[in-house]
Chain A
Amino acid sequence: MIAIFDYGSGNLRSASRAFALTGHETVVTSDLAVCLASDGLVVPGVGAYSACMEQLINAGGEVLIQERIASEKPIIGICVGMQIFFTHGIEKAGHAGLGIFDGEVSQLDAKILPHIGWNNVVADPASKLFRGLANEQFYFVHSYAAKRAIPDSMTSWCEYGEPFLAAVERGPVSAVQFHPEKSGAVGAKLIANWVESL
């Protein structure tokens, strides 16, 4: 069973519909026990970094995610749900993240922001998420991103003003900066790849 963590952030129905399209039913829930027990946990996130982190902590998500990682249970973060896996977010006043990945999330060095639309992702050749999707376009909506490589991880890259991390995979943790649930057929394929890896 796949759970979508409802902690007050993100377009949860989009995510659940996209999973349904690939033939996988999901449970949208704030129940920590259900999230912990699930085969795969989706952590969505939109809006400001600090607001997302605060909502996540208030919903018990910090402990939940740490417990899942400790027991090697897969999770995937989407958009700001990816960004909060990093050490720190420099958005407005800045806020500490979960620190799963070492690095900070900062504003893209581009003339026009947010970065909105379809952009190419050059996939890590070893990536499971991007199997069959080596250089496809995905839908992005964000102004901030992580920009440094993560050791011992599979990293897939995009560029807008400067190179940034479009996706990271390490052990049970996957994270994507774009919205697979809004990326048409290629997004559905990526979701299917993740589900197959569970």
Chain B
Amino acid sequence: MTLSKRVIPCLDVAGGRVVKGVNFQNLIDAGDPVELAKYYGEAGADELTFLDISASVEERSTTLEIVSRTAEQVFIPLTVGGGVRTAQDVDQLLRAGADKVGVNTAAINRPELINEIADRFGDQVLVLSVDARRGKTPSGFEVTTHGGRTGTGIDAFEWIINATSRGVGEILLNSMDADGTRNGYDLEMIAKVRGVTHVPLIASGGAGKLADFAPALAAGADALLAASVFHFQTFTISQVKAQLANQGYPVRR
């Protein structure tokens, strides 16, 4: 009996559509988040993550509808992040059918938001999303915003320790240095963050080939998030899990 290592596809959505990085041949409408969510659920995804990158309030309003339609059809956990600013936003997402909510920039601007969410809904609903890159802070890793474009001067490890003390269920660690490179996960950052927190760690950014996944687990990740390699069908979730199983990691199949 062992807890399985999770494999989690991430969909970027805006205005009710999957907005980038999807090239599916075998779906009727690969731009429909609900259809993709169903596909991934059947393909063995352990969870799903929607990242709402809507630029406007109008676009954002469709996200709740997508979450609701997805939750009606997909019976694995769904995390929704992007643009969550208040406990009220969390309440709306949970009511729509999200199981967990990712919080990022708003918590950096106002850390009390973490306490407010955790006190009202429990730590377990809150996924702290940390976009970090190498920088001149004490740990050598700096928190960024705006998809890695803006440095905050905040030390990533201090932020993780601060946030988890307020009530966080998991950390989604996005390496802004590795993101988009397809050269593998940021093993150094994963290993160092593993050393400063006791909550589960989801590694994100850099997955490009099948051999990239197991090293992230060896570095200390509990779950592996990837986007383009799944959306472009570079390989399937089953292939990732087979590779992990071959390396001796427990997976759900």
How many whole Å from A181's CB to the nearest CB in chain B? 7
In the complex, the answer to whether A48 meets B76 with C-beta atoms within 8 Å is no
How far, in angstroms, from A41 to B41 measured CA to CA in the complex? 28
Segment touching A, from B15-23, B94-102, B155-163:
B94-102
Segment touching A, from B25-33, B118-126, B137-145, B208-216:
B118-126
Residues of chain A within 8 A (CB-CB) of B125 are 46
How far, in angstroms, from A137 to B1 measured CA to CA in the complex? 9
How far, in angstroms, from A157 to B153 measured CA to CA in the complex? 47
How many whole Å from B160's CB to the nearest CB in chain A? 14
How many whole Å from A121's CB to the nearest CB in chain B? 8
In the complex, the answer to whether B97 meets A116 with C-beta atoms within 8 Å is no
The one of A11, A114, A157, A184 that contacts B75, using a Cβ cutoff of 8 Å: A184
How far, in angstroms, from A190 to B5 measured CA to CA in the complex? 23
How many chain-B residues does the 8 Å CB contact rule pick out? Answer: 30
In the complex, the answer to whether A21 meets B75 with C-beta atoms within 8 Å is yes
A118-B4 contact given A11-B97, A13-B95, CB 8 Å threshold: yes
A117-B198 contact given A17-B71, A183-B75, CB 8 Å threshold: no
A182-B124 contact given A118-B46, A120-B2, A139-B76, CB 8 Å threshold: no
Query: Which B residues have a C-beta under 8 Å from some C-beta of A?
Result: 1-6, 41, 46, 71-72, 75-77, 94-95, 97, 99, 121-125, 169-170, 198-200, 222-223, 252
How far, in angstroms, from A120 to B252 measured CA to CA in the complex? 9
In the complex, the answer to whether B1 meets A122 with C-beta atoms within 8 Å is yes
Interface bin, chain A: 35 or more
In the complex, the answer to whether A119 meets B1 with C-beta atoms within 8 Å is yes
In the complex, the answer to whether B4 meets A119 with C-beta atoms within 8 Å is yes
In the complex, the answer to whether A181 meets B1 with C-beta atoms within 8 Å is no
A137-B97 contact given A17-B71, A113-B198, CB 8 Å threshold: no
How far, in angstroms, from A94 to B2 measured CA to CA in the complex? 29
The one of A13, A46, A122, A158 that contacts B124, using a Cβ cutoff of 8 Å: A46
How far, in angstroms, from A179 to B125 measured CA to CA in the complex? 14
A137-B4 contact given A116-B169, A116-B200, CB 8 Å threshold: yes
**Known A46-B122, A183-B75, A188-B75; 10 more pairs at CB < 8 Å:** A11-B97, A14-B97, A17-B72, A17-B97, A114-B124, A116-B170, A117-B6, A117-B200, A118-B46, A184-B41
How many whole Å from A144's CB to the nearest CB in chain B? 11
In the complex, the answer to whether A11 meets B94 with C-beta atoms within 8 Å is yes
4 closest A-B pairs (Cβ-Cβ)?
A47-B122, A159-B1, A118-B252, A120-B1
In the complex, the answer to whether A14 meets B71 with C-beta atoms within 8 Å is yes
Residues of chain A within 8 A (CB-CB) of B94 are 11
A48-B122 contact given A117-B6, A117-B46, A118-B4, CB 8 Å threshold: yes
25 CB-based A-B contacts, threshold 8 Å = A14-B71, A14-B99, A17-B72, A17-B97, A18-B75, A21-B75, A112-B198, A113-B198, A114-B123, A114-B124, A116-B124, A116-B169, A116-B200, A117-B4, A117-B46, A118-B252, A119-B1, A137-B4, A139-B76, A139-B77, A141-B169, A157-B1, A159-B2, A185-B75, A187-B75
